[in-house]
Structure 1
Amino acid sequence: MSVNTPRSLGDFLKSRRTRLDPASFGFSGRRRTPGLRREEVAQRAHISPTWYTWLEQGRGGAPSAEVLERISGALMLTDAEREHLFMLGLGRPPEVRYRSADRVNPRMQRLLDSLDASPAIIKTPTWDVVAWNRAAAVVLTDYGALPPDQRNILQFLFRDPTVRAKQHDWESVARFVVGAFRADVARAGLVSEAGELVDELCRISPEFEVLWRDNDVHSHEDGDGVKRLTHPELGVIELEYSAFSVDGRPDLGMIVYTPLDREVAQRIRELAANASTPAAFDEHVSS
């Protein structure tokens, strides 16, 4: 028997409802059972009390995403609980909630730092880099030497001649990045928010404008999964890249570039170990 049944949804709703303190929401009166009443949850969610009762009783059919969002807010669900609610109610996770970020938690930064030979970054859906390791600083871009509002990968690619010169096949890289950016901002519901960046890049780069108007969409599964760079100290190198979602932050993505050559990996370790660390990077990793 499937664990995702209408009754499972009702049981979950009831368990969250009974854990809430009525006084915290301005509800008073003597109660025979703990938590909010069904009609109080319905009131907070702006839905019919009868409809909410049916949901807890496993009746009434599948709720809409809008109804689940209202119930999630009414029950003060955490992100994990909200996702579970959608899985029970609709069989799919909810849309990603975008939260602005300028850094990650220390645990995630320690994970990045443990990859001493593999450049690794964490980026937002609009491709702003919010975390990186020393290997990324010496191989990709020294993000710590830049102000936070200037750490956007698309701006690097279309505005910085040094970054452009590193790319083995700039045209292919640019086409992929623009297509992946388009997919990421749509998935995060940030198409309008990304408009200012898109308009700026269209003004300064005819090449970006052409690629943007092509409406191509890409994911990190496209292509051969290998990034080729011409590095001023390492020469021509090949890095196998993999993309991961960040646990608890589905709006953030981690990209790890793994050297295909052991000698190159060792040289990256040495460069990272010997590199001077800008003050901005020190502040970043200690936060």
Structure 2
Amino acid sequence: MTTGQHGSRHGAHPRPADRRRPELAAFLRRRRARVSPQDVGMPAGPRRRTPGLRREEVAQLSGVGVTWYTWLEQGRPINASAQVLDAVARTLRLDLPEREHLYHLAEVPYEPVREAAPVTVGPELQAVLDAMDGLPATVCNARYDLLAMNDAYRSLFILSPATMGPRPNALWTLFVAPELTCPLVFREVELPMMVATLRSGYGRHVGEPAWEEFVRELAERSAEFARMWESGDVAPPGSRVKAFRHPALPGQLLRMTTTSLSVDGLPECRIVVYAPADEETREGLARIRASRDADTETEKDTDGAPGESRR
């Protein structure tokens, strides 16, 4: 094999590690130039030509050696610990995305800062769900808490205070509500998959009181859930075809394809959309929506009509 046939020994494209070091060096220099001495409680001093902090100042404030930090900023192949990178990140006032970027460039495993699980969503996201009213859609987190939903989702799952229990949670509804009111068909296949997906999220929250209490309470209320949880199966979220029954469509199955979409700004949350998998299901959803709209109009007429009891 000759060099001319297959390129240079090093190849036409540098290895990822070879590219990360120059990127790390440039990133640190730019962020160092952004922080002034006054930002960190240091006097500016006379005839200061360096924009921002000097290397020795970053090293001193971070509690590391000047030579070590200089080599780090020069992109030399030195090892850095998470503790040291955190100290440098604090000195350079990096926000969370910048801190994660620093870790990746330094090739150090990144452990994200845990944020409290969101309990509500903004009106903008609710408007997105409402605009998809022809398709059942919800926003849920890794624990299957239902943070928002549209009317089509409520109709598909026949949600009410009686079926939702003390918390709006998909698993709680499916396991604790009477099985006769559960619209999900093939429970023996679908529910174990959902529990395995729950365990995948649980792995990031082991020991957290909210998660531990939820699993414990659900296991106490449902022997079926407890058995599936003890299996230890793990699965990631993904697209599936699920079958539903609905009282407005006796004898008909609704076959729905689920699609999960991540939501920026809401950690571990996703929009789950249920789309009809066939034309029969599409027509069935339209009939359910028409029935729901008719019920809504009837309620409006009843509330607005004068009656003997109101005189």
TM-score of the superposition, structure 2-length normalised?
0.73
Work out the CA distance in 1 between the residues paired with 2:220 and 2:70.
55
Matched position secondary structure for 1:118: coil
1:203 is aligned, of 220, 232, 244, to 220
2:118–2:266 Cα contact (<8 Å) kept: no
C-alpha RMSD of matched pairs (Å): 3.4
Matched position secondary structure for 1:122: strand
Work out the CA distance in 2 between the residues paired with 1:24 and 1:271.
63
Task: State the AA in 2 paired with 1:220.
Answer: P
Post-superposition offset of 1:197:
1.3
Change (3 A) 1:262 1:185: same
| 2:133 aligned partner | 116
1:191 is aligned, of 199, 202, 206, to 206
Deviations 1:129-174 (A, max 9, x none): 2122222222235489999971122222221226862110222222
Change (3 A) 1:204 1:83: same
Post-superposition offset of 1:178:
1.0
| 1:264 aligned partner | 284
| 2:23 aligned partner | 8
Task: State the AA in 2 paired with 1:130.
Answer: L
| 1:220 aligned partner | 237
Work out the CA distance in 1 between the residues paired with 2:123 and 2:283.
30
1:156–1:163 Cα contact (<8 Å) kept: no
| 2:118 aligned partner | 101
| 1:17 aligned partner | 32
- What count of residue pairs does the alignment treat as equivalent? 273
| 1:238 aligned partner | 255
Task: State the AA in 1 paired with 2:284.
Answer: V
Change (3 A) 1:147 1:136: closer
Deviations 1:249-281 (A, max 9, x none): 3422221111223313433544565675xxxxx
Post-superposition offset of 1:43:
5.3
Q: Which runs of 5+ in 1 are unaligned?
A: 277-287
| 1:29 aligned partner | 44
| 1:63 aligned partner | 80
Change (3 A) 1:267 1:206: same
1:86–1:94 Cα contact (<8 Å) kept: no
TM-score of the superposition, structure 1-length normalised?
0.79
Q: Which runs of 5+ in 2 are unaligned?
A: 1-12, 297-311
